[in-house]
Amino acid sequence: MSAKIPDFEIRNLCASVEGKPILQGVSLKINKGENHALMGPNGSGKSTLANVIMGHPAYEVTGGEILYHGQNIVEMEPEERARLGLFLAFQYPVAIPGVTVAKFLKTAVDAVRGVKNVKPAEFMKELRENSEYLEVDKAFLNRFMNDGFSGGEKKRMEILQMLMLKPGIAIMDETDSGLDIDALKIVSKGVNRLVGPAFGLLVIMHYERILNYIKPDHLHILMQGRVVLSGGPELVKELEQKGYDWVREKFGEEVLAV
């Protein structure tokens, strides 16, 4: 009996930065329709994992594979990964002065959809709809990309991009850090709009409170560059029953920052 090829799989991934090993054999499987959470202490390699998945040039993959629909993407450029359907919501989104949000999004949507020119009218309609849904003010679209944005505005911008690009697999790198409850609600509202059979999610969390808004069905704990505990709905359920203190007791105080 052959198992179905997972939509997204990381196999025994090892990566280093400036010769220093960070990831030391990470394995994970994510299918579309699933909602995964990854937690781990500071320095365990959470953000490194997110960057390596997208192909950040500062990280060197020293072993293992990253498979998208069974295809190894380790050698691909970041833009090729994005076009396959991978998306990373950045922990620290970068400012692009002089480039409006609308222009940026149009360029990205054209690039990812591989259409020379998505019709401007169609694009604008979609953009307006998604902006309204995320309660993004219209004036915002004419501001320069992340230039002078507050932390909350930047995160909301990441989610707006995610809604426009409609990825197959999205990774959210500590999108919850630095957000107040209202902003967190908007972020989760955005994520929940995409949740469905065509969308798989990996949430790298900083605070456990995001779990109140984004309900994961899978959970992974990363420590010292390895996934030390992984489980499906049963593990999530167990956690809910025993509380997150149980994780802390089992893996040490640092697993969850409060």
Partner 1 sequence: MSEQSTEQILADSEYKYGFVTDVEADTIPMGLNEDIIRMLSGKKGEPEWMLEWRLKAYRWWLKMKEPRWANLDFPPIDFQAIRYYSAPKQRSETEIDPELQKTFERLGIPLHERNRLEGVAVDAVFDSVSVATTHKEMLKEKGVIFCSFSEAIREHPDLVKKYMGTVVPYTDNYYAALNAAVFSDGSFCYIPKGVRCPIELSTYFRINAMETGQFERTLIVAEDDSYVSYLEGCTAPLRDRNQLHAAVVELIAMENAQIKYATVQNWYAGDKDGKGGIYNFVTKRGHCKGRNSKISWTQVEAGSAITWKYPGCVLEGDNSVGEFYSVALTNNKMQADTGTKMIHIGNNTRSTIVSKGISAGESNNTYRSLLQILPDAKNCRNHTQCDSMLIGSLCKANTFPNIEAENGSAVLEHEATTSRISEEQLFYLKCRGIKEEDAVSLVVNGFCKEVLKQLPLEFAVEAIKLLEMKLDKSVG
Helix (H) or strand (E) holding 34: none
15 binds partner 1 (CB under 8 A): no
94 binds partner 1 (CB under 8 A): yes
Neighbours of 181 (CB within 10 A): 9
Task: Please tell me the distance from the alpha carbon of residue 84 to that of residue 43, in angstroms, as a whole number.
Answer: 29
Candidate residues 112, 187, 210, 214; the one interacting with partner 1 per rule CB under 8 A: 112
* Residues 59-78: x where in contact with partner 1 by CB under 8 A, - otherwise, as a string: ------------------xx
Candidate residues 108, 118, 124, 195; the one interacting with partner 1 per rule CB under 8 A: 108
Nearer to partner 1, 104 or 207 (CB): 104
Q: Least separation, in Å, of the C-beta of 47 and partner 1?
A: 13
**How many helices (H) and strands (E) in the chain?**
8, 12
- Measure Cα distances from 241 to 65, 213, 234, 235 in Å: 35, 17, 10, 10
Nearer to partner 1, 98 or 197 (CB): 98
Binding-site size for partner 1 (CB under 8 A) equals: 28
User: What is the token pair recorded at 20?
Assistant: 């220093």
58 binds partner 1 (CB under 8 A): yes
Q: Least separation, in Å, of the C-beta of 237 and partner 1?
A: 34
Candidate residues 19, 57, 196, 197; the one interacting with partner 1 per rule CB under 8 A: 57
Q: Least separation, in Å, of the C-beta of 98 and partner 1?
A: 3
CB 39 within 8 A of CB 221: yes
Q: Nearest-CA neighbor of 89 among 6, 196, 210?
A: 210
CB 213 within 8 A of CB 185: yes
Task: Return the range that interacts with partner 1 (CB under 8 A); candidates 40-48, 98-106, 181-189, 202-210.
Answer: 98-106
Q: Could you give the 3-state DSSP secondary structure of residue 201?
A: strand
Nearer to partner 1, 114 or 196 (CB): 114
CB 109 within 8 A of CB 120: no
Q: How many residues does the chain have?
A: 258
Residues that bind partner 1 (CB under 8 A): 54, 56-58, 77-79, 81-83, 87-88, 90, 93-94, 96-99, 104, 107-108, 111-112, 144-145, 161, 165
